[in-house]
Amino acid sequence: VVLPGVGAFADAIAELKRRDLVAPICEAIENEKPFLGICLGLQLLFDCSYEDGEHKGLGIVPGEVRRFDVPREYKVPHMGWNQVHCCRESPIFAGIDDQTHFYFVHSYYVVPKDETIEAEYPDPFCAMIWRDNLYATQFHPEKSQSAGLRVLQNFAELEK
């Protein structure tokens, strides 16, 4: 299961509810189906977001989503290539070197209880989380050339 995402948190949560997708998403994760959230798909998994107010998320991952508060020389949204640092090994990062570059487009970042892969802008932020069958990236693997394709291939090859 892949939960992609581009757009606003509140609109995305409302659309998931309108289409009755919240329960199937939760069931897929609970039933240990391989699950990948990408960008907003990562953020939606968290307890809440402060994008344009406070909005409740899916509550699957403890933590919150915050807007970048960066010095003036940094632009928001954070767009472009950035290195990621693996804090602990992940099956979908097999064969990918630490400090590999991935492509990011986001104004908000997640603050989880457990960070596994991080990047900096200018301070460290969580670039990916994973536990059991659940994987989620802030970066866009589909736009990250060979490294991103490797992430997607590794995910596709997970046991179902």
pLDDT in tens, 62-120: 999 999 999 999 999 999 999 999 888 899 999 999 999 999 999 999 999 766 678 88
Give kind and range of the element (H or E) at residue 134: strand 134-137
Say which CATH number the domain at 101 has: 3.40.50.880
- Give CA–CA dist 157/159, Å, rounded: 6
pLDDT one-digit tens code per residue, 18-75: 999 999 999 999 999 999 999 999 999 999 999 999 999 999 999 999 999 999 999 9
Which neighbouring-strand residues pair with 112? 63
What are the Cα distances from residue 51, in Å, to 78, 86, 115, 141? 15, 27, 21, 23
Which residues are known catalytic residues?
A: 39, 140, 142
65 three-class SS: strand
Model pTM score? 0.93
Which neighbouring-strand residues pair with 129? 136
Question: What's the total number of domains in the chain?
Answer: 1
Give the pLDDT of residue 113.
Answer: 77
Task: Evaluate if residue 160 carries a pLDDT over 70.
Answer: no
The residue range of the domain holding 121 is: 2-156
